[in-house]
Structure 1
Amino acid sequence: MRVSDTLYIDPVCYMGCNPQESEIYTDYEGERYYFCDRKCKEKFLADPSRYIKPKSWWDRWLDKHIKANEKEFGPKGPECHTKLMGPPGSKC
């Protein structure tokens, strides 16, 4: 599960993983999953449905709109959002 550009959560043990430092990952159903250890990856691959929670309608709606915004405006988002909320990662 992606938390930020530099932090993913291992779906098996919920430990934080930095994708720039970890070489232990797998791609499953169009998503990349990072793991803290090869054993966690093996457990995941043995039964992925046990570790993947289905997304709610709200999460699916947000994903759809986030992808549309990134496609149209790039990773920084539309200029109006930056003016209102500051640059990405800043606190309001």
Structure 2
Amino acid sequence: MFFDPVCGLEVSTGDPRTLVGIHKGQSYYFCAECCLKVFEKKPDKYLKPKGHVSRFLERLTKANEKAFGRSGPPCH
């Protein structure tokens, strides 16, 4: 499983709806055409290394999603 670098949605390489973008020889997977287009405009914005606070917030978000469910991102 992979995560869309723009919206964070979990995507599967086996799903025919999953889109692929390549940046600096690395493949990235996207849930929708709009996410792929946003990524192509400014890929480095979505690939920056995360700091301590960002990693903490990401873990907190995942824990909340696991406990309470997740609503879909606005790109869908």
TM-score of the alignment, normalized to the shorter chain, above 0.5? yes
Q: How many residues align?
A: 50
Alignment match of 2:32 (pick from 28, 37, 46)? 37
Alignment match of 2:21 (pick from 23, 26, 48)? 26
- Alpha-carbon shift at residue 49 of structure 1 (Å): 0.8
AA matched with 1:31: Q
Max radius of gyration: which structure? 1
1:36-69 CA deviation, whole Å, 9 max, x = no partner?
00000000001001101248xxxxxxxxxxxxxx
* In 2, Cα distance between equivalents of 1:53 and 1:17: 20
Identity %: 33
TM-score, length-normalised on structure 2? 0.59
Please list every run of at least 4 consecutive aligned residues from structure 1 whose deviation after the TM superposition is greater than 2 angstroms: none
TM-score, length-normalised on structure 1? 0.49
- The structure showing larger relative contact order (alpha-carbon pairs under 8 Å, at least 6 residues apart) is 2
Residue 5 of structure 2: aligned partner:
11
